[in-house]
Structure formats: C-alpha cells, structure tokens
Structure 1
Amino acid sequence: MLEWLNNWRQALSILKPALEEQPAPSPEIPKTFLHPAPRKTVAKKLLSDNRRYKLAVDPLESSLFYRSLEGKIVSRSLVSGAIEWQSEESGSPLRVTDQILWAVESDAIAAYSTIDGQLLMRSNQLWLPGEVTDSRCDLSEQSLRIALLRVRVQGTPGPSHEDSAAYQINLITGEVTKIYAFEGMRWDDGPNFKPRDDWRPNLQEVEGQIYPSVSSEQLLKINRPLGISESAQLQTASVIIHNYRTADATVRIVLSVFSNQPPYSPLWEAIINEYMIEEGPLPC
C-alpha cells in the first residue's frame, strides 16, 4: 500500500509542472511624504552653491553629507568619520531640514532620512539642466527653492548659451512645483534682449544662513597644503576643501575635517573629485 502511494505521488509531480518563483516587485517610491509634517529647523548652508562639490550638515552637526567619487551620497559622522550610510543612486546633497536630507538625484528631487538613509520621497522626473547655483529654505512658507544653470559653449568665437531652471519644493508634502524653466538664452543677445519678467526667480528674497570661513590663523596652524578653496567653521569641527596635483597631472579635490580647538588635530578626509589636466602645446 505504501509503495503504491509513493508511485501515485511521483506520477502527480510529473504531470504538474513546477511553478517558477516570481521575484517580489520593487516597492514603489512615494512622490510625496507618506506622513506629511511641518519642518521646524533648517541646517545652515555649509559652503557656497556655485561649486561642483556639494556638502550638507544636519542641524546638530553630527553628520556630514557629500558626493563621493562614485557619485553616491555619503553620510559620515562629523567627528569620527565613520560611514553611516550611502545612497544607492547617484546624487548631490542640498540642505537638511530637521532629520531630512534634500538632494538632487538624476532628474529628480529626493528626500532621505538623515538617520538611516531611508529614501522617503523622490519626485517625478524634472528638467534639471545642470549645476545647482543656489538653494534656499524658507520656513515661513515651508519651502525649499533651488536654481540650476548650464552654460553651453559653442566654441570660440561662437556665442555661449545658458539654460536655467528653478523649482520650489513643499517641505511638508515633498511636492515639487516648477517655477521657472528657460532654455537657450544667448549671452550675446545684447541689450535689446528682453526676457519675460519671471525669467529668473529672486532667490535673494529668502534669507540664507551660511557658516563662516575658517580663520587664516587657524589655517596656518593646521598647515594644510596650498590650494584651499573653501572652508567652514562649525561648532564641532573645521571643514576644509583643498586640492593638490599629483605627478601624473591629476588634480584631486579633498574634503578634510579637523577639530576646531588647539592643536587642531586632523579627524578624517575623503577625495570628492579628481580630474586630469590636459596640457596642450605651449603658445608660440
């Protein structure tokens, strides 16, 4: 009887094809926050916006956010330098409100939890023409405004063109509202060129706070190599951006963090950008 039962089960397994396991669908990323809430605190701007490198810090100055050589957003402990999390997608940090890091990610605006790096929101695809030139937070209007600019050089002596865009993000819901997009303004259009009145948003209306630079006296005591381009004096540390040239004509841009009290000991550093210098023939 037992042998017959086993034969019957084997016959059923042959007649019934095995079902292939379907991969679990990827969770859909929300376009707005699942739990909307007003923001009460905005971190100061760490460095000026018109740089290829973007840095941000949380209001408590516990974590520093930057774009790595691989293009990922990295969160590191400001004092110890321990990596806390890293984004899966390429992006650049903008500003921090409360415990939310706002970032530009490909052609979208994204929001990450500063604590564990959880992706909280990613907007629909937008028209982001180039580098972020300014970002401002306005708690009175619960908004974050960013401006982007791309300059297209047609060649010498051809004209240059600039493409601009600016967006306003609701800090409560994460919803993105486009407030300006303009393509193809020529720099040589002359004084007769009259763009429409709203062609560029007045970001100066929103006050932006920025950390002071590190003092010259402290920079001398830190004894960093030449090529310091920017610095920021925080309550807990000193942040310095400097660059140097290697033997193979590579320029490396380095993020260095020091203590802000004597003897100003180095805490950690990271290479955030590097590029080759193309040396052409000397002019006659």
Structure 2
Amino acid sequence: MSRSILLQVHPTRPEAQQAAELVANELRRQGIAPVHEDDLADHDVELAIVLGGDGTILRAAEVTRERRTPLVGVNLGHIGFLAESEVEEVADVVRRAVERDYVVEERMTLDVTVSRPDGTVERSWAINEASVEKDERARMIEVAIGIDGRGLSTFGCDGVVLATPTGSTAYAFSAGGPVVWPDVEAMLLVPTSAHALFARPLVVAPTSTMAVEVLARSFSGAQVWCDGRRRIDAPPGSHIEVVRGAEPVRLARLHTAPFTDRLVRKFDLPVSGWRGDS
C-alpha cells in the first residue's frame, strides 16, 4: 500500500478501540495502510486520524511533530475543542481522508525555555499553554512577570498560564482568561489566584516574549507544565521565557462553520432571542 494514515487511539476507552477497528478495516479496503504509533518510524503518513479527546490529539501532535503531519480529531471525550468531528461522524471522516477532502489549518504553538539558577537550561513546547504552577499545595509562589524584556509586575500567586489562542479555551479559560478566536495572532498571559491589584489577563503580540521569574524569595519552587503533559522543574531563581513556536501544529479541517458555532456547541451556550440581521 503506497498511502498510509496514522491511527492515534485513546488507550483505555472501549468505544475508541471499536471505532479504530472500523476505521482500520475501511482504510485497508480503500488501499490505505492504517499505522499505529509503534510502527510510525517505518511509514510516511499523510494524515493522523485521532480517536479520543483533546489529550489524545495532544499525544498525536507529540509523535508527529517532526513530520508536519496534519491531525483530524474524532471526539470521544467531553468538550473536545481540538477535535473536528464527533464519533457519529467517523465514517465521513474516513471518506474525506481517503479522498483527501480537507483543508489544513496551521495553529500557533509556543516554544518554552526554562533557565535555572544553577545554569541548566531546559526547553519544551506547547499547543495550548505553558503553565507555571506552585509545587507545594499549601504555599504560593512569588513571581515577577515581564514582556519583551521589561518588568511588568510582581506578586504572589498559585501560578501563571501562558497560552495560545487555541489554548484560550483550555486552562487559560478556567483561570479567567478571555476566549480568543483561533485565527487571531496573539499570545495570552493569565495569572491564577494572584495577590495583586494588577493581575489581569494580558493579550500580547505574537512577536512578543513573555517571561515569568520565580523569585529567589519565593516560598516554594515551581513546575512548568507544557499542555499538562511535559514537566520542567523551576526552583526559586528560575527564569521562564515563552515565545511563538517555530513549528505550528497542523489541523485538518473538514467543516467551514465559524468558530462561533463551535463555541456555542461545545459550551452549550444559550442563543435563544438572537435575531441576527433580521
């Protein structure tokens, strides 16, 4: 088979396993090899079909990051903002994949650098957000935040969320940040439970550098979580920088409905009374 498609499947959901079997059989019938993560190195996959929730999509983005493979998600989770379709639409997803009937949309990512006081440096990346979180439940962390090399404020807090527009509906939203349409070129900085007058969410340019310093006087160290999946320790005295990622994530879009419709559907928002242009 000359064509191959990655199947990334939630590891424990029975419905995901059942759907994966149906998808794999149909792909084979169409002359396309279904590939699983363990065999990815031996194949040049053209697309990843992801069966699960946003966590499964984030995993698929990890394993295909160097390949620039577009992802199409079939939601088997709860809200599933990254997913393109629901499970009852899986047959249509396969048909569209076979026919290459989709549009690839590039989404911003973040590149994250953590510089520790001992001179060590660790780097990672994120699709949704990099969150700086206290590592002791009973203590807050003391941080200084800065934009483009200039200090902006200092306060005690539970953490700071640094997010993309895609991640604005994830952790940043839960922390009180704004919903940002995914085609907006911007980045967000959202303090969580900050003890300060000026601790509002910030929206900055995509060319900016966002920074968080865990102050040496902080009551505890911090952990930097990238998409809630990759952890970097940040003891007091650490400096965290976040910039626009050099490598975007690619999502295969099957639907042309505006983001507004997705927001209403995912959050079950009431729109009765809306008259539009009438």
TM-score (norm 1): 0.24
With the length of structure 2 as denominator, give the TM-score of the two structures.
0.24
Compare relative contact order (CA 8 Å, sep 6+) and give the higher one, 1 or 2.
2
Give the number of the structure whose residues are more often strand, by fraction: 1
Which structure has more helix as a fraction of its residues? Answer: 2
Q: Considering only CA atoms, is the larger Rg found in Structure 1 or Structure 2?
A: 1
